[in-house]
Structure 1
Amino acid sequence: MSQKNLIVAFGGVSPEHEVSVLTAIQAISALENSSYQIIPLYVTKNGRWLTGESLLDLSNYKDLPKLESQAQDCAFVKDETGKTYLKEQNVSGLFSKPKSYPVYAVLCAFHGSEGENGAFQGVCEMMNIPYTGSGVLGSSLGMDKVKAKLVAAANGIPVTKAVNFYESDWVNEQDDIITVAEDFGYPLIVKPVSLGSSIGVAIANNREELNEAVETAFRYDAHLLIEEAVNPLMEINCSVIGTPDNCKASVCERPLGKAETLSFEDKYQSGEGAEKGMASADREIPADIPEALTRKIQELSVKTFSALGASGLARLDFLVNANTEDVYFNEINTIPGSFSFYLWDRSDLNFTQLMEELIRIALKKHQEKNGRVRSYDTNLLSEKAMKGIKGLKGTK
């Protein structure tokens, strides 16, 4: 079988940069014996696009300046026929010739910011290349916790009470915001709206802690969310794979941390072998909860995945009242850490098969998109039409 160039895109200008590197290397390892030729596309912390063999070795990331000096700048380019390539740029040396790789598909392994929020997906759409995961809208909704909750609530999916505000609101209306939040009752949860991996998330038990948590969270995002706490709390997660009109849920998991609300350290620096990313976190799989509750969360996961227009694979996180078993949608991760392979491994789909399925979905979506009418022949720029446009000059 001939090899196809699979571009694995990861890194990025994001607080979750290192987590993305771990996820990408895991995926590359899972595809080691596949029919694909793996081409890394590493986006540095300052936004440079790099490629090269040295990017495939996790140990090289211990010295980022050295790694970046060994790698080669690159970019997506199109040839005269419209075919897209990943091409090396600024190659030095008299006899050096830039390598160029025709793109078969892109495996997106970003976490947070421009890689997961729809921006990179938009680049792929513009270049008309298949890519894994959600599209531009689904990705951007997934990154915005406020918008995701609004869509969920509009579709009858339960969410917790919350107030959201921008930094300028906090400066001008701080007392009003605190009054609204305190009506929920302490403890309260403070979150950046557009970050994942629990970065900037804090629990506030009183007004002093609330002010401190807000000021800390503004270091990461200009838009924050204060939510009521579910007490006593169980966090239950479930992954979904497919498309909005045809998807299925994995088994459920219950992450276990020092506190029920998990920190970044609980997720990525606990358990044995933190280099395994989310796979190293302590968790209970399948979650030891009643079967009826499992089914409810799986059904809500599929419903939320579809409502948000997600695609490929996502992990949906829910807050459960341990006494009443009331369930609340918390957030969706459109590119979850380690691709949540540990959930699908318990659902009879190993990591390699999971990656293959993501690529298959990406190719099918791309084929369907290109099967639609994507241009419209018109004589808008004909001489007659142009005269009409000229006549509009000077009008208001």
Structure 2
Amino acid sequence: MDQKTILVAFGGASPEHEVSVITSHQAIAALQESNYSITPLYLTKNGRWLTGETLLDLKNFEDLKKLEDSCTPCTFGQNEFGQPVLLEQKTGFFSKPKTTPIFAVIDGFHGSKGENGAFQGACEMFNIPCTGSGVMGSAIGMDKVMAKTICRANEIPVAESVDFFEPDWVDHQSTLITKIESLEYPVIVKPVHLGSSIGVEVVMNQESLIRAVEAAFKYDDHLLVETVITPLMEINCSVLGSSRAQRTSVCERPIGKEELLSFQDKYLNDAEAKGMASADREIPAKIPDELTKAIQETSVKVFKLLSCSGLARLDFLVNEETHQFYFNEINTIPGSFSFYLWKESGISFTDLLLELIDIAVEDQNQKARRIQSYDTNLLSQKAVKGIKGLKSKK
């Protein structure tokens, strides 16, 4: 019996491109002993879709030009039976394109079009089960302002903030600075649609604020400036499930050289390609049981509110003295799939990925059970004549 094929999709046009490559290769390694056949789907930094055996070796990514030249362009398609397939470009004039039926996709993108719902939409168009949240949950989760607006409306505490687009900053800089300074320094500047602490900076005065805003606009046209919680303790919790059922991991406390965890702290503390697994952290977090329970319950509430599915990591800002906590952000595709949190809960990385695949398949089956079309005579001869009549009146 042929093995079912799982695509592991990663890369993409994102500042987090390299982080995505590491996360996805961790997943590929964890699935080597599974009953699935693994096929890589790599999106280059300029948006090309590629596949090929050379993508399975992380060392080959040291020379991207050479790697890309060794790969085969591909896209989604359907075979004669209506099954979704990975369609590889023809290699010869008389050759037929190779087609590989797709059982499911493991989405390993971080940031931009792979995590914001765009890639998830492509999978939905071809009826391909895709791990993680769907179009809406992914889009909301990627937008810090929208996610916090929904949380605030549902009485989930978030830090006070000001957000603005680049044209607003150009036209009304002094007004925005006044609004920001009403929060009182220090404040933290963040791109709205990025993760991994890229473009994030704590500022102490107006001069550093202007510099940080100009730097962050290099990554995103929408920025968020928030009051800094101090003394700060970051606490994260992962949620696994769907709209049908959810469960939480243990909580973790990331530990960096500064209060704010940087890209360096998250990904560059270890010479090996361990991604988020290399970051320093305290697991389980040494916090009171009642605080752990409150954060876990809030994590599930946010997961459901934002229409998430699969696996997500939710990050909270906690006042270390009062234990008042604030929702910071949700990562619908967390670095290393947060397997280190679930390992502490007794679930191996391989089993975690297999469960994510099962959830994705069941989510797709649930959609397929719904009515997909509505019988109507709208294109009957009478209706078509009516449309022609409208054209003649122009």
TM-score scaled by structure 2? 0.98
RMSD of aligned alpha carbons: 1.3
Q: Which residue of 2 aligns with 1:286?
A: 284
The whole-number CA distance in structure 1 between the counterparts of 2:140 and 2:356 is: 20
Q: Which residue of 1 aligns with 2:307?
A: 309
Superposition deviation, residue 363 in structure 1: 0.5
The whole-number CA distance in structure 1 between the counterparts of 2:241 and 2:123 is: 19
Q: Which residue of 1 aligns with 2:165?
A: 166
The whole-number CA distance in structure 2 between the counterparts of 1:2 and 1:257 is: 47
Letter of the 1:59 counterpart: K
Q: Which residue of 1 aligns with 2:37?
A: 37
The whole-number CA distance in structure 2 between the counterparts of 1:45 and 1:107 is: 19
Q: 1:331 aligns with which of 329, 332, 339?
A: 329
1:12-59 deviations in Å (ceiling 9; x for gaps): 000000000001000010000101000100000110000010000001
The whole-number CA distance in structure 2 between the counterparts of 1:91 and 1:145 is: 44
Letter of the 1:293 counterpart: L
Superposition deviation, residue 2 in structure 1: 4.0
Whether the 8 Å CA contact 1:245–1:306 is kept in 2: the answer is no
Answering whether residue 240 of structure 2 is matched by residue 250 of structure 1, we say no
The whole-number CA distance in structure 1 between the counterparts of 2:373 and 2:177 is: 51
Q: Which residue of 2 aligns with 1:62?
A: 62
Superposition deviation, residue 395 in structure 1: 5.9
Whether the 8 Å CA contact 1:2–1:35 is kept in 2: the answer is no
CA gap 1:283/1:374 in 2 versus in 1, 3 angstroms = same
| Count of residues in correspondence between the two structures | 394
Answering whether residue 121 of structure 2 is matched by residue 98 of structure 1, we say no
The whole-number CA distance in structure 2 between the counterparts of 1:245 and 1:298 is: 17
Q: Which residue of 2 aligns with 1:22?
A: 22
Whether the 8 Å CA contact 2:79–2:99 is kept in 1: the answer is no
Whether the 8 Å CA contact 1:316–1:332 is kept in 2: the answer is yes
Q: Which residue of 1 aligns with 2:372?
A: 374
Answering whether residue 162 of structure 2 is matched by residue 188 of structure 1, we say no
Q: Give the secondary structure class of the aligned counterpart of 1:45.
A: coil
Superposition deviation, residue 274 in structure 1: 4.4
1:51-74 deviations in Å (ceiling 9; x for gaps): 010000001000100100111100
Letter of the 1:197 counterpart: S
CA gap 1:173/1:245 in 2 versus in 1, 3 angstroms = farther
Q: Give the secondary structure class of the aligned counterpart of 1:41.
A: strand
The whole-number CA distance in structure 2 between the counterparts of 1:302 and 1:106 is: 24
The whole-number CA distance in structure 1 between the counterparts of 2:287 and 2:272 is: 27
Q: Which residue of 2 aligns with 1:115?
A: 114
Letter of the 1:371 counterpart: R
Whether the 8 Å CA contact 2:90–2:96 is kept in 1: the answer is no
Q: Which residue of 1 aligns with 2:273?
A: 275
Q: Give the secondary structure class of the aligned counterpart of 2:188.
A: strand
Q: What residue ranges of structure 2 are gaps of 5+ in the alignment?
A: none
The whole-number CA distance in structure 1 between the counterparts of 2:87 and 2:56 is: 18
CA gap 1:2/1:89 in 2 versus in 1, 3 angstroms = closer
Q: After the TM superposition, which segments of 4 or more aligned residues of structure 1 sit over 3 Å from their partners?
A: 94-98
Superposition deviation, residue 87 in structure 1: 1.3
The whole-number CA distance in structure 2 between the counterparts of 1:257 and 1:368 is: 42
Superposition deviation, residue 90 in structure 1: 4.0
Letter of the 1:250 counterpart: S
Superposition deviation, residue 171 in structure 1: 0.7
1:272-321 deviations in Å (ceiling 9; x for gaps): 34410000011111111111111111011111111111100000000000
The whole-number CA distance in structure 1 between the counterparts of 2:392 and 2:200 is: 53
Q: Which residue of 1 aligns with 2:48?
A: 48
Answering whether residue 78 of structure 2 is matched by residue 78 of structure 1, we say yes
Letter of the 1:86 counterpart: L
Q: What residue ranges of structure 1 are gaps of 5+ in the alignment?
A: none
Whether the 8 Å CA contact 2:189–2:225 is kept in 1: the answer is yes
TM-score scaled by structure 1? 0.97
The whole-number CA distance in structure 1 between the counterparts of 2:72 and 2:372 is: 34
The whole-number CA distance in structure 2 between the counterparts of 1:181 and 1:210 is: 9
Whether the 8 Å CA contact 2:234–2:315 is kept in 1: the answer is yes
Q: Aligned residues: percent identity?
A: 62
The whole-number CA distance in structure 1 between the counterparts of 2:173 and 2:15 is: 27
Whether the 8 Å CA contact 2:90–2:98 is kept in 1: the answer is no
Letter of the 1:357 counterpart: E
Q: Give the secondary structure class of the aligned counterpart of 1:111.
A: coil
Letter of the 1:215 counterpart: E
Superposition deviation, residue 98 in structure 1: 3.4
CA gap 1:80/1:379 in 2 versus in 1, 3 angstroms = farther
Superposition deviation, residue 80 in structure 1: 3.6
The whole-number CA distance in structure 1 between the counterparts of 2:340 and 2:231 is: 26
The whole-number CA distance in structure 1 between the counterparts of 2:343 and 2:383 is: 60
Letter of the 2:44 counterpart: T
Superposition deviation, residue 95 in structure 1: 7.6
Superposition deviation, residue 84 in structure 1: 1.1
Q: Give the secondary structure class of the aligned counterpart of 2:74.
A: strand
Which deviates further from its counterpart, 1-10 or 246-255?
1-10
Letter of the 1:53 counterpart: E
